[in-house]
Structures are given as C-alpha cells and as structure tokens.
Chains A and B, each alone.
Chain A
Amino acid sequence: DAKTTQPTSMDCAEGRAANLPCNHSTISGNEYVYWYRQIHSQGPQYIIHGLKNNETNEMASLIITEDRKSSTLILPHATLRDTAVYYCIVRVLNQAGTALIFGKGTTLSVSS
C-alpha cells in the first residue's frame, strides 16, 4: 500500500468547512483513496473513497488532484460531533488479506 502523509492536527470552527489534506505521492494506478475517522476510542467509521473523480456522499466530499498525488476530504459544515481522528488510506480494491493500514491520521478539533 502507498504511504500517506497527513498533518498531525487541525482546528475548525463549528459550521465552517473542514478541509483535511492527504499526500500520497507514490500511489499506484489501481489504488483507491479511502477515508475513515475514529471518534475517541470508538471503532473507526468509513467516510468515503475514490479513485480518480471527485466523490460526494451524505457525510463528506473527496477531491482528488488530477495527478492523484494528493487529496482533500471536505466536511462542508463541521459540527462538534465531527471532532475525531481522520485517516487517509490508499490501497488496492479487493486486495487479499484486506487489512486496512491506519497511520497516525489528523486530529480534527471542532470548536464552537
């Protein structure tokens, strides 16, 4: 799996958009970008994933650069409940073994 680099921490005001960057400069052509988050000591929660195109679901948007070397997770209207550690993971879809490799992630703190 390709290595990812994320900032250690970020702050965001409640109601504002939270933009979480991730660098994955060694990503391969068949590797997807996944985002999970973990609210304090709870199980990780899937957010979104993408390959090339930008993606949007009810939780967030994922913007992937044209060269696919970086991406940004956007929480359009952050709330206090979005305070969590956010993990950017790149991996091949349906890879045997299916282990998710979680790095250190970005701790997002949303304040009122």
Chain B
Amino acid sequence: EAQVTQNPRYLITVTGKKLTVTCSQNMNHEYMSWYRQDPGLGLRQIYYSMNVEVTDKGDVPEGYKVSRKEKRNFPLILESPSPNQTSLYFCASRGDASPSYEQYFGPGTRLTVT
C-alpha cells in the first residue's frame, strides 16, 4: 500500500530536549516536505526537499532542521524544542512524474512541548 508514515504519532516532551520525528514514504517520490498545523493559522510549510541531499526552507523554518540522506526518509529534527513548537505536524510527498500535483500526507504527529 502506498503510504507516508510518521513516528511517533504522539509525543510529549520538555523544553530543550532534542527530538526527531521520522517520515518515510514507499512511493519512490522525489519531493518531500514538512508542515505544521495550528488553530487559526492553517498548514504552514517548514522545510521541503526536492531530492536526496537537496533541502530548502519553507515559510516557518526557525527552530527546525531536516536531512535527506535517503530518498524514502525525511526526518524533522528539533534541536532544542520550545513550547511554541507545540503543534500538529504533517509530512507529505509527491513524485516528480505526477502531473496532478497530488501530494500524499502522513497521518500526523501531535507534539506537545512543556
């Protein structure tokens, strides 16, 4: 089954404790991205990657890092989480060959930073 998976699905952590949210897709997609969703603000893009070793900032990159060492994985790293990073996070992927611009989203990771 074609899918985007994220882990963990739920995480409660404390300020300053480094964490990584993993994202993996099994569709051989070139493009992957991370969004965060907050009430009243909608979904906002954090980082995106056009292919392996190619990453770029989205609209709200501050406080986040990403890496793309393999095509299927695109982890989101919070080196020193703060309470304002409490949010619902989504990973998405899309194939370059997809003419429809259809993006596949993961199930989401709900992060709480206390």
Q: List 8 A-B contacts (CB under 8 A).
A: A41-B88, A43-B108, A45-B105, A91-B101, A98-B94, A99-B45, A99-B59, A100-B43
Q: Which of A34-64 contact B (CB under 8 A)?
A: 34, 41-46, 49
How many residues of B are counted as interface, with CB atoms below 8 angstroms from the partner's CB atoms? 25
Minimum-distance CB pairs A-B, first 8: A43-B105, A99-B45, A46-B102, A102-B43, A102-B42, A44-B105, A43-B90, A43-B106
Give the docked Cα–Cα distance between A74 and B104 (Å).
Answer: 22
Inter-chain residue pair count (beta carbon < 8 A): 55
* B3 CB to nearest chain A CB (Å): 10
Helix, strand, loop or mixed for chain A's interface?
A: loop
Q: A43-B106, A45-B105 are in contact. Are A98 and B48 (CB under 8 A)?
A: yes
The smallest C-beta distance from B20 to any residue of chain A, in angstroms, reads 19
Q: Is A94 an interface residue (CB 8 A)?
A: yes
Q: 4 additional contacts, CB 8 Å, given A43-B92, A49-B102, A93-B101?
A: A43-B90, A43-B106, A98-B94, A100-B45
Q: Which residue of A lies closest to B90 (CB)?
A: A43
Residues of B within 8 A of A46 (CB): 100, 102-104
Bound: A105/B101 CA distance, A: 19
Interface residues on A, range: 20 to 34
Contact in complex: B42, A100 (CB < 8 Å): no
Chain A residues with CB under 8 A of B99: 93
